[in-house]
Structure formats: C-alpha cells, structure tokens
Structure 1
Amino acid sequence: MATTGLLRFGHISASLAVFLGLLGALRSGHCDEQVPLILWTSEGTSLPRLSPPALGHIVEEQQLASHLEEALDAGPRNVLLFLQDKMSVEDFTLYGGAFGNKQDSVFPNLEGALMSSSSSLVLPAVSRTASNAVIGQLQDQLETSPLYLDGETLSQLRLNASSPALLVFRLPYGVVADLMSAKDVLSGNDEAIGQVLSTLKAQSVPYTAVYTALRPSREAASLAVEAGLGGGRSLLQSGRYRERERQRQIKGKAGLYGPVEFKEGEDTCILLWARNLTVGILRRGRWETHDLTPATFGKDVSPRLHGSSCDKSKSKLVLNYEKVLGHSSFKLTFALSQRHYKVSARRWFTLDAVELEYDGTRATFNGSRNVYAPAEFSYSCASVASFNAPLLVPRSPGDPANQWRVSFRDFQIQGFNVTGRTFSYASDCAAFFSPGIWMGLLTSLLLVLVLTYGLHMIMQLHTMDRFDDPKGPAIAVPQTE
C-alpha cells in the first residue's frame, strides 16, 4: 500500500530530501497514479493546523480542495503554482540527497524556501485526477483566471497583496528528456523556482506556493537503476500495464483535447495535433526550453492563427504566441505543399519547412525529404524533432535554426483533403523494415545457408564399391611404377 500523509512543519530543521526519502522507502505499490504536492507560504505567514489523513490514504480531489480552501482562507491569496510535467516522491529520494551526500541535492532553492517558511504542507501521494484539477480548484477559490508566466516576465509584473492572483509556472520533465538527463532537468526546475521566489521577495509580496505535477514519473525501480542503486523488486505485470495504458491514451487522444483546426471559409483545411510541442534555444552553453502545449491545445484554448492560409497546392499554419523564451512575439509556422509524382502516379504532400519567427528573426528547419505522406492521408509520427535522428534539419549552416531545437511528440498533421474535423487515415513515419526485422531476416538467411551447406555435404557422401573382409585374404593393391 502507498503511504501518504499531510504533514505540517514549523521550522524545518531537516532536509526535505531526507524526509521524502523516508516516505519513499515506505511506499511499495500503486505509484503509477500518485504524485506529491508541496505547499508553503512566504516568511511571516502561517497555515492552520490540519489533521493528517490515515496511513495508506491517497488524497483525492474533494479532500485536496478542502485543504487548499483552508490554506487560502488563512494564508496569502497571491498563489504561485509550479506545475511540473511529471514528478514522483522517488525524484526527491534519489536526487535530494537521501541516498548520498546531502550537499549533492538538486533542490537547494526548494529546501531553502521550506526551511525559511513558517509553515509547510507536504502530501506525498495525491491522486493523478486531483493533481490535474489543482488549477481549476485554485481558480474557483480565488475567483480569478490563471496567468501563465516564466521567471523573466514575472519581473515585469507588479502584484498587489490586497488582490488575489494565480500565477502558473510550467516546469518541464519528460518533455526534454532527449536534451538532458532527468537530474539536470530537476536542477533547472529548482533554479526556476528560486528565480521566481527571489523576484517575489524583492517586491515584498506575500505568497502561497504550490508545487505538484500532472502525472507521475518513472517508478522507483527504474529511478534507482538510473542512480546506480539497483532495481529492487517490482511486479511483472506493471510494465505491461503501463504500456497498455500508454497505448490506450494514444488511441484516445481525441478525448484529451481536439486538434488545432484552421478554416478557410466554412470548411476546415488544416488539422494539427501533438501530445507535446517544445522549443529550446542555446544560451551561454545551456539549452533553455519552453513548452508550447498549454497555449496550443485544450478545451478553453483558442490559439491565434492569423497568417495561416491554404489552397489546393500549398498550406501554411501559423501559431502565434507571446513571451516565449524572452521574446515578446513568437511564431511557429508549418509550411506544406502537395504535387503529383509521375513515378508513383499519385499526389503526395510534404512538410516543406518548420519556421520559428521571433522579434524579426526567422529560423527555418527543412523537412520535405523526411516528412511526407499521400495527399489523401494525414502524416503521423511518434517523434518529429531536430535532434537525435532528426526529421527536421536547419536550412543552412549559417541559419539561426542551428541555435534552436524543436520537438513534437505524437505528432499528426494534415493540410489537404480534410473531411469534417477529423484526420484521414494516417501514414506513419515508422519504416516497415525496422532494425529488429532486419536482424531477424539476416539471422534466418544465415541459418538457411548453414542448412543448405549441410544438405549439400550429405548429398556428396558415397559408399565404397569394395570392402575389406577381415576373415578372408587381404585385398591386394598392385603397385605400378
């Protein structure tokens, strides 16, 4: 059973990593649907004393709403919500110093904030449904809309302690796993938290901070293997269950949120869907990333598409954003075209380019040689990126795109022959002859050659026409000179 509890700290004298490490050691199952939640206030403010749940209890949505309501009734109503893509208690256990030197903790800013806070609340296990409802619960209780920011834009905002505000800061985890390790990502997230808290401290604005995630990260066993601690015991079924769940989510992705659609008149002519859109820029030898997914997809999200166009031969989808990686204006453009190819006797469409336009500068990635599909189909790929077996490459060595990276997960696009608001049959980017298939074919060919050689040798065997009889006279073989 998973162990959860609501703990109230006065002045924290021990490291957060050690505390969560002890909790992680007690947990043994059902970690796939739980995430931790940490709540604290700025110096000089305190939270009411709340009784912890019973041992083994997982905090659900209704109970979490009650805790948040009691905290906001007594604490500051300027709320900072640090929302990470994935997180589990084991992240603190492995990278917070619980199994090694505490000086190696990657959460110095978070631990410092908790130690300086007059009171803190830690929920080691919150159901995934409850964590996904945190934004809506805070919005209802504060009666204000969420404002999505980053550390740089926060410095330009002036908060008023008398009026409530809900500031949401999205922190990556798995979305940039290809760019850096999980430990580096968590360290970068902690630095982002420290930057935000320093800005609020400089403005002398009291706040209530909440740190949680949308979904759990990997299970404790895989995290332990990454840290070199050994895998430990695990359920044999858990891996298959997670894979089935992932496939179910991919098949039911339309139920998560609908695709971006651009209409020319009354008819939809371009559709775009992705589980994740991420861009990154290289600054001072380090990759800084930004997740565009929340501003692109969702029930209540309407991305600005001005500049988009489509006709029978060319289509262009332009996604307009504000304040991305320090740029006041930012555009993500997908340029597609279709033409008839005589060799295949059919029409094909290609993704000619993906362009990033920011403050008058344009970075262009080519994709026409790698991203294509029949004109009647849509194009689908599990990963379309500009790194690690890239499908998108910079247009030229001197193009600004060499300083950028783009990554699209579970990507699907259709720019021609769209019927209604649904994608046509998808042409997947996965090749038919995968490395596993080639290995099987070559191994089978080698075995066939060995068998053929063996049969050939057997067929060449012949019996002697005369035999030496040991009871009779020996066979005389005349010698000739």
Structure 2
Amino acid sequence: MSIEDFTMYGGAFGNKQDSVFPNLEGALMSSSSPLVLPAVSWPASNAVIGQLQDQLETSPLYMDPETLSQLRLNASSAALLVFRLPYGIGADLMSAKEILSGNDEVIGQVLSTMKTQSVPYTAIYTALRPSREAASLSMEAGLGGGRSLLQARGGYREREGERERQRKTKDKAGIYSPVEFKEGEDTCILLWAKGLSVSMLRSGRWEDHDLTPSTFGEGVSPKLHGSTCDKTKARLVLNYEYVLSHRNFKLIFVMSQRHYQVSARRWFTLDAVELEYDGIKATFNGSRNIYAPAEYSYRCDSITNFRWPLLIPRSSKDPANQWRVSFDDFQIQGFNVTGSEFSYASDCAGFFSPGIWMGLMTSLLMVLVLTYGLHMIMQLRTMDRFDDPKGPAISVPQTE
C-alpha cells in the first residue's frame, strides 16, 4: 500500500462516487483524532503488532469480522485484535481496485461491530510493504532532463544487480551442515536453519542476538548436553554463553510423535520451543501449527512468534511474552533419521495456493464446456431422404 493508492482510487479527481474507501473516509471524518502517515519504514510496519503487544501486555487475537460479533469486549481490560485484510499476490489475480474495495468492506464490518459494543477503540490500518517504489534519481550536474532520467534508471538497475549478486554470494556462503545429535553411534535429531535469532525487551527497546554463528558453520560444534531422544520423544538442547548479558542460555526444541487413528499413521509435532536463562524458563507452544509425518522432516521458510506467528507464548504471564524468536529457512527432524541427511521435507506452505485453485477451476470449467460441445455435435443427425430436383415435383391436392 502507498499514498498513491488513495489518490488513484479515492476519487481525488472529482469522481468521488468511484472511491473505494467510503468506510475508511467515514471513520476518519468521525474520528476525534485521525492520523495519516504518508509513508513508514518496512520494519516499523512489521513490528507494529509486537509493539502493541508490549504496550498493552496482552497477546494478539487473530480474528475475522464474523467471529468478532461473537466476542464480548470489556472496556476495563485491553484487547489486541488483528484482522488480516484481503490481498493480492499479482496483477493477474485481482486488480488493486478490487483488493482495496474488499479491504474497505472488511473495515466497515469491523467498525460497525465495534460501535454496537460501545467500547472505546483505536484502529490502525497499515500494510507490510508499499505497493510501489520510486527509484532515487541522482541529479548530477551537467546532465539534461531526459538523459538524467535514463542514466538514473540505469544506475538503479546496476545497484539492484549488485544487491542480487551479493545476496547470491551470501546464500552460497551460508550452506553448511546441519546440527546432529547422536544417541550412541546413530544420529537421531537433525536441525538446520539459515538464521536463528532471539530478541529481548528491555527498557522499551528490543535487543537482538544472532545465534547462527554459534550454531552453524565450518569448525563450529555447538554444545548439545541435555539432549535426549527415543522412539516417542526427542529433546534438542543448544547451549550458549553470554547471550544478551545472560551467562548461560539454552534454546530447547521439544518434540514428540504418536499414532493418530483418523489418518492411520504416525505424526511428529514440535510441542514447544523453550528458552532457559538464569533459572527462568520461557515457553512457546508450537504443536498446533508445526507437525509432519513421523518419517518426514519439517521445513518452513520462517518461524516466529510475532509476525504470522507459528509459536505462541504458553500463557499471558509466561516470560516468553518478553522474547521474540525468529528461525529463517528452518528444518528439523527428530525421528526416523537415516544417516546425516534429512528425509523428505513436509513444508509448512500449503500445496494448493489461490493461484493453483483458480487455474484448476478455470481448467475444469473449460473441460466441461468442451465436453458439452462435443456431446451436442455427436447428437446431430443427417437427413436420410433428399428431394430430386430432376424428378417430378411433389403435388399435394387440396380438397375441401
């Protein structure tokens, strides 16, 4: 989302009736203290839920307008409600106008429900990233207008190409062996990630610490004492020193596997991720979202507790509410490990994306139309008798 979207689709050119933001405009007009920020940095947008969670000291509730009407809010206790609005992945799926119109409809439903409950509220409407970016044009002395624009665009492409080359070099350098825990001579737990990081809230600011260099890499041997594994339970303990001023720090992955009668197979779950430091334990639950068949490994591009969270603090009073964990390109296997390589990975991303569903439905519709057309053609019947133009004409006498 960008400020240009409001200009283009908000009826700013005398066509107010075509605006896709009637509910949003009405809310701003009726608000006693509206605030519009033309642009914000991406990290600020991504961290807004975490910041509000810290300020309100409550966990976010991810809801939709239909379930909001069933929730009874109390003005005496703070609540953090998060609504994910419709979005589009590409221009071939939905137009920007349709997407923004859908967003405004959801906003209208939510605001209507909040008014019926008569509770004070503050609403924030933002996006994770801008819909368009303007390349920074370098205005060099002595260059004409058209030539300056072309050279600036050329420099922008060169900078983007350089960033891409640096990213590929970094990715290539980031290939390393997974962490292995062995029970006797056999490997029973494997862990790999491109990035492991933790953050702690201190004095209203988040302090970050990157655990990746101490966990992976050539010549790095993380301490795994305290780890255990058997046929039904596995526990991987990564021991560190001097993490965010804590002398002893542990990152623990707790897994289990069991047989489920409905699917008639065994599944393993990452039950919890624990942080132990100075005699304190912070626990994140993960079993609801992190699971895979017992003979597979589990992989996910990003696992966090603050942005599209897959890890949830065990309770509102748990010390985990003061921590953030982030695992990038994460893969783990705690059972049925063969050798030092992961088994087939069960990815957290669903196989049927919206684009795939649209393609399948379109193909099915076209097949049905083609089948109907072939059926109609096969029902055509030719005449078996024809009139001979050289023969006598057929006369039909008329009698009264």
* TM-score normalised by structure 1 residue count: 0.43
Deviation track 1:147-206 (CA, whole Å, cap 9, x = no partner) reads xxxxxxxxxxxxxxxxxxxxxxxxxxx9999559xxxxxxxxxxxxxxxxxxxxxxxxxx
CA contact (8 A) 2:135 2:153 kept: no
Query: Which of the numbers 257, 273, 276 marks the counterpart of 2:176?
Result: 257
Query: Which of the numbers 212, 220, 224 marks the counterpart of 1:293?
Result: 212
Q: Does 1:232 align with 2:139?
A: no
**How far has the Cα of 1:229 moved from its partner?**
3.2
Distance between the aligned counterparts of 1:319 and 1:444, measured in 2? 50
Query: Which of the numbers 255, 262, 267 marks the counterpart of 1:348?
Result: 267
Distance between the aligned counterparts of 1:243 and 1:350, measured in 2? 37
Q: CA RMSD in A?
A: 4.0
Partner of 2:257: 338
Deviation track 1:197-254 (CA, whole Å, cap 9, x = no partner) reads xxxxxxxxxxxxxxxxxxxxxxxxx9xx8687368335499779949985x987x78x
Partner of 1:393: 312
- 2:321 alignment partner, SS class: helix
CA contact (8 A) 1:383 1:410 kept: yes
Q: Which amino acid aligns with 2:187?
A: T
Change (3 A) 1:393 1:307: same
Query: Which of the numbers 319, 324, 341 marks the counterpart of 2:238?
Result: 319
Q: Does 1:405 align with 2:324?
A: yes
**How far has the Cα of 1:285 moved from its partner?**
1.6
Change (3 A) 1:294 1:179: farther
Q: Which amino acid aligns with 1:432?
A: F
Equivalent residues in 2 for 1:118-129, closer than 5 Å: none
CA contact (8 A) 1:317 1:335 kept: yes
Change (3 A) 1:343 1:324: same
Distance between the aligned counterparts of 1:396 and 1:336, measured in 2? 19
**How far has the Cα of 1:283 moved from its partner?**
1.3
Equivalent residues in 2 for 1:201-280, closer than 5 Å: 229=136, 232-233=153-154, 234-235=156-157, 242=164, 256-280=175-199
CA contact (8 A) 2:267 2:291 kept: yes
Which structure has more relative contact order (CA 8 Å, sep 6+)? It is 1
Q: Which amino acid aligns with 2:309?
A: P
Q: Which amino acid aligns with 1:360?
A: G
Equivalent residues in 2 for 1:413-452, closer than 5 Å: 413-438=332-357
Equivalent residues in 2 for 1:21-420, closer than 5 Å: 179=47, 229=136, 232-233=153-154, 234-235=156-157, 242=164, 256-420=175-339
Change (3 A) 1:271 1:407: same
- 1:350 alignment partner, SS class: strand
**Which is worse superposed, 336-345 or 426-435?**
426-435
Change (3 A) 1:229 1:326: same
Deviation track 1:35-94 (CA, whole Å, cap 9, x = no partner) reads xxxxxxxxxxxxxxxxxxxxxxxxxxxxxxxxxxxxxxxxxxxxxxxxxxxxxxxxxxxx
**How far has the Cα of 1:433 moved from its partner?**
2.5
Deviation track 1:247-272 (CA, whole Å, cap 9, x = no partner) reads x987x78x821110000011000000
Change (3 A) 1:346 1:385: same
- 1:300 alignment partner, SS class: coil
**How far has the Cα of 1:419 moved from its partner?**
0.4
**How far has the Cα of 1:436 moved from its partner?**
3.5
Q: Which amino acid aligns with 1:385?
A: T
Distance between the aligned counterparts of 2:351 and 2:189, measured in 1? 27
Q: Which amino acid aligns with 2:136?
A: L
**How far has the Cα of 1:299 moved from its partner?**
1.5
**How far has the Cα of 1:282 moved from its partner?**
1.2
Change (3 A) 1:249 1:288: closer
CA contact (8 A) 1:175 1:276 kept: no
CA contact (8 A) 2:255 2:271 kept: yes
**How far has the Cα of 1:432 moved from its partner?**
1.6
Distance between the aligned counterparts of 2:216 and 2:45, measured in 1? 21
Structure 2 stretches lacking a partner, 5+ long: 1-41, 49-128, 138-151, 371-400
Distance between the aligned counterparts of 1:289 and 1:176, measured in 2? 15
Change (3 A) 1:435 1:376: same
Deviation track 1:370-398 (CA, whole Å, cap 9, x = no partner) reads 11111011011111111111111111111
Tell me how many residue pairs correspond in the alignment: 236
What is the percentage of aligned positions where both structures have the same residue? 67
Partner of 1:190: none
**How far has the Cα of 1:434 moved from its partner?**
2.3
* TM-score normalised by structure 2 residue count: 0.51
